[in-house]
Structures are given as structure tokens and as C-alpha cells.
Amino acid sequence: MAAGFLTIFILLFSSLDSIANSNLTIHMFQHIGLFVGGIMFGYGLEKFLITRLLYLKKKSFALWRAFTGVMKINSRTKGFAFVLVLPTLVFAYWHVPTFFDAAVTNPFVHITEHLSYIITGSLVGLSISAVTKRWRWVLMYLGFMQAGMMGSMWILWPSYFPVYSAAQNIQMGTALMLFGALGVLLLSSQLLKALDII
């Protein structure tokens, strides 16, 4: 939980945040970092709260109700509502050029964007235990694959985010494609084991 909080704090309150405003590649990886920091925070929070449900209910009924509500949704959907559906919608929304450019040019929209990545990541962390180990590997693999595919698309479409130059779009696309390819490469053998192929 502390590692997730520290990651989010550094990404938002260090000089990295001001650099991200002028560098598309750093901006994109800041978003990934906020999401991953949220996951770490949410995972730690779930492990902390799950053993203290009665105490939580006595101290804060609203928090207890919210937490058990998330657990009920996870039970019904095997974790996929918060681990797959919600992140897909959030990432898709913020990568529509109009919304992405608005976040770059409007500080209030930018704050909303960052909060959505942190909250979505935290809900993933709270929910990851409900997803089977096999599906966790599949989802991680698909996430890296999607990152690589999006990166390659931005290389071929260098005006995708008009608020940044074509050179910055190409640089970010290349970095994201390599990031996705590296992730796929590193996860391939583990995925084949999880699927009982090797």
C-alpha cells in the first residue's frame, strides 16, 4: 500500500509532472505509472481491510459498505467488472484525441484524468484477488499487447494527438510499442505455463 502511495506521490508532485506536460512519451508513461501505483495501493488496501471488516464496520459504516459493495461485485463478476471492463472504458475514453488534448490544455480536466487512473487502478488492486491466476496472466499479456498495438498505430498516425507535434507522437508510439513488445516477450513463457500449453 505504501509503495503504491509513494509511486503516485512521486509521479504527481515531483518535477516529472511538469516535464510530462511538454513531453508526450513521459506523459503517457506517467499515466501508466499512476494506474500501476493505484493497483499497488488498492491491493495493499484490500489485504489490510479484509481482515478488519468488523472493526471497519464499527468505525466507518460508509467505508465498510463501499468495500463490501466492491467485494460483492467482484464475487458476481469474478473480478472482471473492475479488472477488465472499467480500465478498458477509462483508457479508451482518455485516448480519444479530443479528451486527451483537453486534459493537456485544461488543468481541471487534467486533474480529473489523473484521478480516474488512480481510482481505476485502486479498484483493480482491490479486485485482483477475485480473478484466477490464469486470467491474471492472460490479462497482463493482453494489456502489453494492446500497448504495443496502440504504439504502432501512433507511429503510423503521427497527428493522432494534435496538441503534440508529429515527432512527439512518433517518439511516444515507438516507446509504447517497444514497452508492449518487451512485456509480451517477458510474459510469453509464463502465459503458456498458466494455460497448460508447456
Per-residue pLDDT, 118: 97
Q: What is the DSSP string of 113-130?
A: HHHHHHHHHHHHHHHGGG
| Prediction pTM value | 0.90
Question: Residue 128, Cα to own-chain centre: how many angstroms?
Answer: 13
3-state secondary structure of 79: coil
Q: In the chain, what are the helix, strand and coil shares in percent, each to the nearest 5?
A: 85, 0, 15
Residues 156, 195: Cα–Cα separation, whole Å: 33
Q: What is the DSSP string of 164-177?
A: S-HHHHHHHHHHHH
Query: Can you give the pLDDT of all 198 residues of the chain as single tens digits?
Result: 899 999 999 999 888 878 888 899 999 999 999 999 999 999 999 999 988 888 888 888 898 899 999 999 999 999 999 999 999 999 999 999 999 999 989 999 999 999 999 999 999 999 999 999 889 988 999 999 999 999 999 899 888 999 899 999 999 999 999 999 999 988 888 777 777 665
Per-residue pLDDT, 179: 95
CA dihedral 83, 85, 87, 88 (to 10 degrees): 140
Residue 48 · residue 125 · CB < 8 Å: no
Residues 155, 169: Cα–Cα separation, whole Å: 7
Burial class (CB in 10 A: 0-12, 13-18, 19+), 77: middle
| Cβ count near 50 (within 10 Å) | 13
Residue 2: name the closest of 45, 32, 46, 63 by CA: 45
Return the residue matching grid coordinates 493522432: 160
Query: How many CA atoms lie less than 13 Å away from 56 in the CB half-sphere?
Result: 15
Per-residue pLDDT, 191: 77
Per-residue pLDDT, 198: 52
Residues 86, 197: Cα–Cα separation, whole Å: 30
In this structure, is the dihedral angle defined by the CA atoms of residues 70, 73, 79 and 83, taken in order, positive or negative? Answer: negative
